[in-house]
Amino acid sequence: MTDAAKLSKVEHIKIESRQLRGSLGSEIMSDVDHFCSDSEQLLKPHGMYQQDDRDERKAKNADGTAKGKQYMMMVRTRIPGGRASAAQFLAHLDLCEQYGNDTLRITTRQGFQLHGVIKDNLKAAVQGINRTLLTTKGACGDNNRNVMCCPAPIKNNTVFDEMQVAADQLAEHFTAKSTAYHEIFLTDESGTTQNAAEWQPVEEPIYGKTYLPRKFKMGICLPEDNCIDIYTQDLGFLAVVENNQIVGYNVLVGGGMGVTPSAAKTFPAVAKKLAYIQPDQVVGVAEAIVKVQRDFGNREDRKRARMKYLIHDWGIEAFKAKVEEYYGQSLPAPHAADVTGVDDHIGWHEQGDGKLFLGINIETGRIKDEGELRIKTGLRTLLKKYGMPTRLTALQSVILCDIDPKDKADINQLLAEHGIKQDHELTLVRRYSIACPAFPTCGLSITESERALPGVIDQLEVELSKLGLLAEKIAVHMTGCPNGCARPYTPDIGFVGKTLGKYTIFLGGNAEGTRLGFIYQDLVPQEELVKTLSPVLLQYKAERKPGESFGDFCARLGKEALKAE
Sign of the alpha-carbon dihedral angle for 139, 144, 148, 149: negative
Q: Which long-range contacts (CB under 8 A, 24 or more apart) does 311-315 make?
A: 311/253, 311/254, 311/272, 312/254, 312/269
Strands in 53-180 per DSSP E: 71-77, 83-84, 104-106, 112-117, 148-149
Asked, as a colleague might, if the bond just before 440 is cis with ω within 30 of 0, I would say yes
Domain(s) of CATH 3.90.480.10: residues in the chain: 347-426
The matching CATH number, chosen from 3.20.20.450, 3.30.413.10, 3.90.1150.10, 3.40.50.11540, for 430-564 is 3.30.413.10
Which of 149, 401, 436, 554 does the annotation list as catalytic?
436
Which of 14, 123, 214, 215 does the annotation list as catalytic?
215
Paired sense of beta strands 218-221 and 148-149, if any: parallel
Catalytic annotation present for 76? yes
What is the rounded distance in angstroms from the CA atom of residue 19 to the CA atom of residue 351?
A: 44
A 10 A CB-CB count for 563 gives 12
Catalytic annotation present for 502? no
The pLDDT value recorded for residue 148 is 98
Structure confidence by residue, pLDDT tens digits, 73-102: 999 999 999 999 999 999 999 999 999 999
The pLDDT value recorded for residue 2 is 57
What is the rounded distance in angstroms from the CA atom of residue 388 to the CA atom of residue 85?
A: 7
Catalytic annotation present for 442? yes
The pLDDT value recorded for residue 199 is 73
Domain(s) of CATH 3.30.413.10: residues in the chain: 143-176+203-343, 430-564
Sign of the alpha-carbon dihedral angle for 375, 378, 381, 387: negative
The pLDDT value recorded for residue 194 is 42
Which of 481, 487, 498, 554 does the annotation list as catalytic?
481
Which of 83, 123, 145, 320 does the annotation list as catalytic?
145
Catalytic annotation present for 436? yes
Which of 217, 291, 306, 391 does the annotation list as catalytic?
217
The pLDDT value recorded for residue 3 is 64
Catalytic annotation present for 54? no
- Gap between the terminal Cα atoms of the chain: 51
CA 504 to chain centre: 21
The matching CATH number, chosen from 3.90.480.10, 3.40.50.300, 3.40.50.1820, 1.20.120.160, for 347-426 is 3.90.480.10
* CATH 3.90.1150.30, applies to 143-176+203-343: no
Instruction: Mark the ranges of the chain whose per-residue pLDDT is less than 50.
Output: 191-192, 194-196
Catalytic annotation present for 485? yes
Catalytic annotation present for 217? yes
Q: How would you write 328-348 as a 3-class SS string?
A: CCCCCCCCCCCCCCCCCCCEE
Structure confidence by residue, pLDDT tens digits, 156-205: 999 999 999 999 999 999 999 999 999 999 987 654 454 445 678 999 99
What is the rounded distance in angstroms from the CA atom of residue 440 to the CA atom of residue 496?
A: 16
Paired sense of beta strands 71-77 and 112-117, if any: antiparallel
Catalytic annotation present for 145? yes
